Structure formats: structure tokens, C-alpha cells
Amino acid sequence: MVIPCIDLQGGRVVQLVQGREKALEGEPPLEMLRRFQGFPEVQVIDLDAATGAGSNDEIVETLTGRATIRVGGGVRTPERAAKLVRLGAHRIIVGTAAFDPVLLQEISAAAGRERLIVALDSFGGKVVVKGWREETPYRAEDVMPGMEPYCGGFLCTYVDREGMMQGTDLQWFRKLRSVTKLEISAAGGITTMDEIHELTALGIHTVVGMAIYTGRLDLAELAALR
């Protein structure tokens, strides 16, 4: 499955390079959602919530009322996870809080295990948290097995190439696939149909942003993939 993404910052749809530098702005959120209507699921990340700069809850609620949406960004308490469920999120993505065992269990209970996706975002081989601004000592492949009892899958972003249109690291995703049987969604630098086909062959979903927004990949061709 190909999952297009809508990243929200200050009420606008944006695409960032490595989570820091804004590269471009997209159409308004509802227009982007209309463009993505041929896809079974859309990913929405609240970048303001992820960095503690605010939230875009009203936009999130509008989007979740119109499509099947997985939502992430700033989910650090069970109350926040439960609120996103009430707002209509189909899946909940948790990153930073997943490294607190007690919080992870509480968030899993609040959202429901199958609904919860753990984000394991890697830069320089180590997982990064707090909006990709803080490095942890962990490698994604080492922590995945211990998190399996609390989630229905993983969102794994290769931050080294995120937004750079230079391709992703397929070998890293092969390694991740070898350590878990749960759902994996791949993100970070995915630029070509060949990469998408290779990831699909591994049983990995692909989350695509910059390559769509720049027109590098064709929406109709992507939507036709299952």
C-alpha cells in the first residue's frame, strides 16, 4: 500500500528536508486530501505538536471526518492518544513516548494495540525523537521486538534522506523486515517506482511525500498500486 502524507505546520501543508528546513508548501489541507482520495489511507503528521509549538487539531478533525487517516505528532500521553481517537483517527502514531515503557503501555491501552503505530525514525543509525531533534542510543532493529506487544505496526523513517529526493536505504528496510512480522511502513527519501516495488515485495508499505509534491511520482500510478 502506498500512503501519501500531509504534514501540517502553522495550519499549512508543508514538506521539510530532514524535518528541519521547509522546502515547499502544498495546497490547503482539504485540497491535498481531495488529491489523495484514490488512496486507501492518508498519513497526517502535526509537526507543531511534534515540536511542542502548538497543534493543528481542528484541521486534523476535519481531515479525519473525510477519509481514513493515520495521525501522528506529539502523541506523548494516553490522553492525547484517546483525543485523537475521538477526533476520528484510524491509526495513532507514537514516537518519543514509545521509549518510556510505562507510557507506551498506557498509550497502547488508550488507543488500542492494533490501532497504535510506533514511529522508529533513524538518523546516522540511531533512533531520533522529539521531532527528530534528539538522538537516542538505540537502533531501530534492536528495539522493535520489545515494542511488538504494544502496537500493530511500525512507521520507520530513514531521516538521513528525508525530503532529499536521493532515494532511500533499502538494505536498512530489509534488516527491519527480518526482525518483525508486524506491519512496517517505510518513509524517508523514497523517490522511484522501483523503490516502491522493492519495498512492496518485502511486504512493506510506503509513505511518500516530497516525490508526490514535486511531481516526481504520478498520483494516478501510485493510487493504482495495492
Integer angstrom CA distances of residue 157 from 119, 133, 182 = 8, 14, 16
The mean pLDDT of 49-61, rounded to a whole number, is 90
Annotated active-site residue 57? The verdict is: no
Residue count of the chain? 226
Cβ burial of 117 (10 Å; 0-12, 13-18, 19+) is buried
In this prediction, residue 2 carries a pLDDT of 97
What is the reported pLDDT for 53? 87
User: Looking at residues 58-85, what average pLDDT do you find?
Assistant: 94
Assign a CATH topology to domain 2-223. TIM Barrel (3.20.20)
Nearest in space to 137 (alpha carbons), one of 149, 124, 146: 124
Give the active site residue among 46, 48, 121, 142.
121
- The whole-angstrom separation of Cα 113 and Cα 109 is 7
pTM equals: 0.93
Taking CA atoms, 210 is separated from 18, 22, 216, 223, in Å, by 11, 11, 8, 16
Three-state secondary-structure class, residue 131: coil
Of the two residues 186 and 96, the one the predictor is more confident about is 186
Selecting among 7, 100, 160, 169, the annotated active-site residue is 7
Cα 107 to Cα 1, 93, 205, 225: the distances in Å are 26, 10, 23, 32
- Give me the mean pLDDT over the 195-219 stretch: 95
- Checking if the pLDDT of 163 tops 70, the result is no
C-alpha cell at 24: 515547499
Closest CA to 12 of 54, 41, 40, 52: 54
∠ CA 169-158-96, nearest 5°, is 155
Residue 42 reports pLDDT greater than 90: yes
> pLDDT by residue (tens digit) across 1-39?
999 999 999 999 998 876 667 778 889 999 999 999 999
What does the pLDDT average to over 98-117?
Answer: 96
45 pLDDT higher than 90: yes
194 is annotated as an active-site residue: no
Task: Indicate the domain borders of the chain.
Answer: 2-223
pLDDT tens per residue across span 179-200: 999 999 999 999 999 999 999 9
Q: What is the pLDDT of residues 31-40, one digit of tens each?
A: 999 999 999 9
